[in-house]
Amino acid sequence: MDERAVCALCGEGHVTPQVRQVETEYKGTKALVPLHYQLCDTCTSDYAGAAENKLNKREVMAFRKQVDGLLTGEEITALRKQYKLTQAKAAKLFGGGPVAFSKYENEDVAQSEAMDTLLRLVRRSAEAFWALVTEKGMESEFMREPITIPAQSKVLHFTARRGNADRPDPRYNPRQLRSFAPGAKQWKQ
């Protein structure tokens, strides 16, 4: 039994996926872009279904982003993973809508020049990233789970934060940890 799909045009033959390089021009720049389609072994018709059209659109969008000097989908994915962001959290932090980063990363749409500039700035500077987190009021979303450390029969709860060693959290007070004297039963005031 042949597992290939039946041709949608003749209904008799079977189709096989094909890829052909097609010259495309955008803003005066020419390049060969892969074109995906299906070819029937009986009627020799070639056509692009929904899946092929989606792939073709993504190939063209990637080419256009390259010509426009925008970050590629792979570069945006790497940036998001650099800061351990989900697509939803990245969209909330940078803007663009709830599924914007999925579309940027899959080459479904091109990000605006303003979004691209913001992403490039954050890619170069962790300080800019943390400033944006603070500006958006999202500090609590970047906290880790509490860490429990036993100390002198008392249990202290600490909350670790992602951050930059050059920019300590303004709410952190190092004296607070030093005020518990060994052997003492209470905190020093």
Question: For 15-68, CATH number?
Answer: 3.10.20.860
User: Residue 143 burial by CB count (10 A; 0-12/13-18/19+): exposed, middle or buried?
Assistant: exposed
In this prediction, residue 142 carries a pLDDT of: 77
Q: Express as a percent the part of the chain with pLDDT over 90.
A: 59
**Higher per-residue confidence, 182 vs 60:** 60
CB 156 within 8 A of CB 149: yes
Segment 9-26 shows an average pLDDT of: 91
**Higher per-residue confidence, 15 vs 141:** 15
DSSP state of 141: G
Is 15-68's fold the same as 73-139's? no
- Tell whether the model's pLDDT for residue 54 goes beyond 70: yes
Site of tokens 């029937």: 40
Mean pLDDT, the chain, rounded, equals: 82
The domain ranges of the chain are 15-68, 73-139, 140-175
What would the two tokens of residue 99 be? 């599924």
Site of tokens 């500039």: 117
Quick: pLDDT tens for 107-166: 999 999 999 999 999 999 999 999 999 999 998 887 654 555 555 545 555 555 555 555
In this prediction, residue 135 carries a pLDDT of: 92
Segment 35-51 shows an average pLDDT of: 91
Buried b (16+ CB within 10 A) or exposed e, 75-99: bbbebbeebebebebbbbbbebeee
**Higher per-residue confidence, 156 vs 14:** 14
**Higher per-residue confidence, 168 vs 36:** 36
In this prediction, residue 9 carries a pLDDT of: 85
What would the two tokens of residue 176 be? 């607070």
Q: How far apart are CA 158 and CA 149, in angstroms?
A: 8
Quick: pLDDT tens for 177-187: 444 445 555 54
Q: Which CATH class is domain 73-139?
A: mainly alpha
Residues contacting 122, CB < 8 A, separation 6+: 79, 83, 94, 128, 129, 132
C-alpha closest to that of 21 among 11, 31, 9, 33: 33
In this prediction, residue 11 carries a pLDDT of: 86
Angle (deg, nearest 10), helices 73-82 and 113-124: 40
Least confidently predicted of 54-68, 133-147, 165-179: 165-179
